[in-house]
Amino acid sequence: MPAPRSIWRRLAGLAGWAVVAAGVALALAIAGPIALGDHPLTDLSGSMEPAISPGDVVIDEEIAPGEARVGDVVTFRDPEDQAKQLTHRVVSVRREGAHLWFVTKGDANNTREHWRVAADGQIGRVLYTVPWVGHVAVLARTPLGWALLVGVPLLLVAGEELVRIWRPRPRPPSGKEGDAVGGAG
């Protein structure tokens, strides 16, 4: 039967690999669409709850405004603050000349936005969301978050390597008598 210490070491190794696998899956879920031209955004407002919660990463595909349909969740420039982007559900859309007029509403909001976009412009349509990852992205932009997400893992890896270097290794059992290396035979 393996020693308890060995079992804990194996469990820790499995947990480490599970964390690595989860990290790779998250990276692929976010970086994969970026490589294909789609755009990740972090939702922090809660205006689309329960469909999209604060901290969810929203993966958008760029579409022509004419492709948007009532019920689609789209990302667009806030009509009141062009520096901000909103992600809300399309309530109605109508074409007027070279523009499309949208009415959108966050699922959790009481108010609607009325905005327009050139028919040959682009907006985003939500493909899917990755829950909670946005909290990590927001945290990573702070000095404390950077220290936690980069510094602590680096210190743990460095500590493990130092223990490996300085801890004496048990010597393998010596060979049987008569197994002399380099001796005459």
pLDDT, greater one: 152 or 36: 152
Rounded CA gap, 89 and 70, in Å? 8
**Gap between the Cα atoms of 53 and 176, Å rounded:** 67
53 is catalytic: no
CATH architecture of 38-131: Ribbon (2.10)
**What local confidence, expressed as pLDDT, does residue 82 receive?**
87
CA 117-71-31 angle, to 5 degrees, is: 75
Q: Where in the chain are the domains? A: 1-36, 38-131, 132-166
Query: Any bridge partners for residue 116, and if so which?
Result: 101
Which listed residue (45, 47, 53, 174) is catalytic?
45
Q: 3-state DSSP call for residue 42? A: strand
| Structure-token pair, residue 40 | 């990740």
| Dist. CA 45–CA 43, nearest whole Å | 6
pLDDT at 1: 57
pLDDT digits (tens, 9 = 90+) for 121-173: 999 999 999 888 777 777 777 888 778 777 888 888 888 888 888 876 777 77
CA atoms within 13 A on the CB side of 106: 20
| pLDDT tens-digit series, residues 96-133 | 999 999 999 999 999 999 999 999 999 999 999 988 87
Cα dihedral across residues 159, 165, 168, 174: positive or negative: positive
Percent of the chain scoring above 90 in pLDDT: 37
